[in-house]
Amino acid sequence: MANVILFGEPMALLTADAPGKLEDICHFSRSMSGAEVNVAIGLTRLGHHAQYLTRLGDDPFGRYIEGALKSNGIGTEFITVDPVYRTGIQLKNRTTDGSDPYAPYYRKGSAASHISAAEIDALDLDGVDLVHVTGIPPALSESARAATHRLMDRAREAGIFVTFDPNLRPALWENEETMRQVLNELAKKADLVLPGIAE
């Protein structure tokens, strides 16, 4: 089975326990969210060895996410705990009419947005078969963008297969032109690009 590194930002997800506007809800259920989390869980269930590469805050949500990853069999040795910046949070309302739920996130300045290329240079990639990257980290900050480029470059230099999910989130980017330019640059570094139908 493959040894896989997934690079992204897991967030604490607080889902409303009842339908209604988020501002009217008193009780929420906690879980974790993140495109890379979902892929990691799927790969682990298929018998692969998945390691999550990210930064988490030294806070209750960060500790919860680290524990939840471990409980799903996902490796956490590539997680850096940030003593200053906090773990990102996402809220989600509950709908009953089949519509998409409203799901705002609070991740600006998060711990994951402060990951750097220097951290990527410190990684031991021996034995890694696949690196999976999404368009979320490069949208978070300049340093996370540089880290994304460096991870993909190092993987290619080492002959590691690279998959890339653009995962378009225009609200995270400074403008649409930058989003298109950066995502196209990253797509060129991937062996396999996994866009959604709308993308």
Residue type, 82: D
Q: Give yes or no for a contact between 191 and 163, defined as CB atoms under 8 angstroms apart.
A: yes
CATH of 3-10+34-85+108-193, one of 3.30.830.10, 1.10.3430.10, 3.40.50.300, 3.40.1190.20: 3.40.1190.20
Tens-digit pLDDT profile for residues 121-157 = 999 999 999 999 999 999 999 999 999 999 999 999 9
Residue type, 36: E
Q: Tell me the three-class secondary structure of the chain, residue by residue.
A: CCEEEEECCCEEEEEEEEECCHHHCCCEEEEEECHHHHHHHHHHHCCCEEEEEEEEECCHHHHHHHHHHHHCCCECCCEEEECCCCCCEEEEEECCCCCCCCCCEECCCCCHHHCCHHHHHCCCCCCCCEEEEECCHHHHCHHHHHHHHHHHHHHHHCCCEEEEECCCCHHHCCCHHHHHHHHHHHHHCCCEECCCCCC
171 pLDDT band (50/70/90 cuts)?
Answer: confident
Tens-digit pLDDT profile for residues 72-125 = 999 999 999 999 999 999 999 999 888 889 999 999 999 999 999 999 999 999
- Report whether pLDDT(7) > 80: yes
What span, in angstroms and rounded, lies between the C-alpha atoms of 9 and 55?
A: 7
- Mean pLDDT across 44-65: 97
What span, in angstroms and rounded, lies between the C-alpha atoms of 46 and 58?
A: 31
- Mean pLDDT across 166-193: 94
